[in-house]
Structure 1
Amino acid sequence: MAIEAIKKVTGRAVPVPGADVDTDRIIPARFLKCVTFDDLAEGMFYDERFDADGNSKGHPIDAPEYQGASIMVVGPNFGCGSSREHAPQSIRRAGFNAIVGVSFAEIFFGNSTNLGMPCVGLSPEDNEKLMELVKANPEAELSLDMEKMEVSFAGQVFKAGMDEGAREALVSGKWDVIQELVDRNASIESTAEALPYV
């Protein structure tokens, strides 16, 4: 089965400000009691978005002007804290296809790449400017060019950065390591049969 090469991601954006947003804020621990990741979207930022009675706190993700957004613009050190894979899974399953920020926790970044969800960094100044542009232009589309490593929005172009190995995996369609193994099953079985100890 061919894995999608991710060369460009386009969609409306939502700003999620704040530094050091950790994985417990992204997906509270009580939502981790699941057998599959299928229903994790409902827990994404739950305690940031709702009070104890389930009433909205007015988080940007729930604002009418950002409904349908598929790209998240975040602050520095996003995804820090515990290494729970559920955090990027919840974001992806809520319909987000990319995250633009300043920096990302290493494990969160790797787990996101393994889902085909690019996490790209801007300078702090460019990130702040983009955040303000998104707030001022909620209907505009953001475009992330993974080959040029550029983020375009509202007539502005920002140079982005990302680990080169992860970028290459995404643009070449080799980001899903499990699918890579499945696709090479015949080769794996052939090698195993040739080994005297298997």
Structure 2
Amino acid sequence: MQPFTTLTSHMVAIPTENIDTDQIIPAQFLKTISKKGLGKNLFFHWRYSEDGSPRTDFPLNQPEAQGASILLAGDNFGCGSSREHAPWSLMDFGFTAVISTSFADIFRNNSLKNGLLPIIVDEETHEQLLSLVAEDPSTQVSVDLASQTVTLPDGRTVHFPIDSFSKTCLLEGLDQLGYLLKQADAVAAYEAAHPARVNTSG
């Protein structure tokens, strides 16, 4: 994983509420265990016509979406079945953060484990961001993970929650296994100071 510190980017808005993981990445694309290549199938049924041609009115197919690192999503984003392919596909497309008013718990946890930052903001801020994108798709916001803030174009900063363990892992670019391996010296020192007790009774 790449360390996540700060991010400044324009946004792509898909404000539909209750977008589930099957809409994010349909079941037919779950056979792979590779994270590569899933981005082209992100929102597949919304993004492409039956003949496979891109729908020009879908946000990801519009020129303004190119280079965007932030998805501005509707409430309860990532609900439905558990599949790590959902954050994989979002990241493979190029997103490194998703802003919403709430996330499904499993999707949120899968995202944090894979380096995708889910940012929860209040409804007023969410509406302001949607208005800004509608007015000017090139509008940028800045995300600072260390301070847990999003800075809007008018200079206002909004705080977002994240647990300390996930924050540490993202800042250092570590997955859960990497975090445990980093503690190897401390584990070895503890084991050396606390030799195993052998039960000789019986």
Q: Same fold, TM exceeding 0.5?
A: yes
TM-score, scaled to structure 2: 0.83
Give the conservation status (yes or no) of the 8 Å contact 1:146–1:167: no
Partner SS for 1:112: helix
Counterpart of 2:112 in structure 1 is: 113
1:144-169 deviation line (CA, Å, top 9, x unaligned)? 12233322233252523223335532
Counterpart of 1:52 in structure 2 is: 50
RMSD: 2.6
Give the conservation status (yes or no) of the 8 Å contact 2:15–2:73: yes
Q: Percent identity?
A: 32
Give the conservation status (yes or no) of the 8 Å contact 2:68–2:95: yes
Q: CA deviation at 1:173?
A: 2.1
Summarize the alignment of residues 146-157 of structure 1 with structure 2, pairs less than 5 Å apart: 146-157=145-156
Name the CA distance, whole Å, in 2 between partners of 1:87 and 1:63.
21
- Are the structure 2 counterparts of residues 18 and 29 from structure 1 closer, same or farther at C-alpha, using a change threshold of 3 Å? same
Give the conservation status (yes or no) of the 8 Å contact 1:14–1:61: yes
Q: What count of residue pairs does the alignment treat as equivalent?
A: 194
Name the CA distance, whole Å, in 2 between partners of 1:166 and 1:109.
14
Identify unmatched segments of 5+ residues in structure 2.
none
Structure having the higher Rg:
2
Summarize the alignment of residues 1-198 of structure 1 with structure 2, pairs less than 5 Å apart: 5-57=3-55, 58-165=57-164, 168-170=167-169, 172-173=171-172, 175-184=174-183
Name the CA distance, whole Å, in 2 between partners of 1:168 and 1:85.
19
* Greater mean alpha carbon deviation, residues 168-177 or residues 55-64: 168-177
- Are the structure 2 counterparts of residues 34 and 195 from structure 1 closer, same or farther at C-alpha, using a change threshold of 3 Å? farther
Name the CA distance, whole Å, in 2 between partners of 1:74 and 1:102.
8
Partner SS for 1:114: helix
Q: CA deviation at 1:56?
A: 2.2
TM-score, scaled to structure 1: 0.85
